[in-house]
Amino acid sequence: MLHRILLGTLLLCTGLLAAVQVAKADTMDGVTFTVTNPNQTGTPGQTLTWDYSVINSNPDGLDVFFVAVTAPLGFGVNDGTPLNTFDSFGGTDLVANGTSVSGMLFSFQSFTTMPNSTNTGFFDLTLILQDSLGNPMDIIDLTDNYSAVIAPAANVTEPGTLLLLASGLLAGLFLCRRAAQ
């Protein structure tokens, strides 16, 4: 009977692994947008931060100009305070062709009163492809997925508590053996 339960659990886990999709970057016109740490886990009151990477390998030699980054509506409204820390490509707003940038995309601080919550979705990065003179050529939207899980920290028993419990059990065992003699 135990073997059937274990086999069923193994098959369930294998099925879940097959259904989970690997996070992947979004690429359009040679520009790649990646959330470099898409899956965040924290405790109530903690600030979670997502980072990004943008690689400009446009085949036409166009530069990338930042327009906007958005997260789904309601991100953090029920779970925390959005801090909106996108660094606009390090403050330059421009990624020249053949270069890449990385930095801070978004962060929020979870409420201390929200013990358990989950938020999943995608970040949307809107960019303009422009020539070397700054003339706009095309607008592109790139997306990448994220997830956030807020859960209380697991309680860890103090080593002193375990020592006290073990001492009490040994003393009880000693007294029971002595009484039996």
CATH of domain 24-152: 2.60.40.10
Cα(10)–Cα(6) distance, rounded to whole angstroms? Answer: 6
The confidence band for 82, taking pLDDT boundaries of 50, 70 and 90, is confident
pLDDT score for 24: 53
What is the average pLDDT score of the chain?
A: 78
Non-local (6+) Cβ contacts of 81 within 8 A are: 108, 109, 111
pLDDT tens string 15-63: 434 443 344 567 889 999 999 989 988 888 888 889 999 999 999 999 9
- Compute the distance between CA of residue 10 and CA of residue 76 in angstroms, rounded to an integer: 35
Q: CB neighbours (10 Å) of residue 11?
A: 10
Highest mean pLDDT among 49-58, 82-91, 103-112: 49-58
Q: Kindly report the pTM of this predicted structure.
A: 0.67
Query: Is a pLDDT exceeding 80 seen at residue 3?
Result: no
pLDDT tens digits along 118-156: 778 888 989 999 998 889 999 999 999 888 888 887 666
Q: Under a CB-based contact definition with an 8 Å cutoff, are residues 47 and 107 in contact? A: yes
Cβ partners under 8 Å of residue 111, min gap 6: 44, 45, 79, 80, 81
Is the pLDDT assigned to residue 10 strictly greater than 90? no
Q: What share of the chain is helix, strand, coil (3-state, %, to 5)?
A: 25, 40, 35
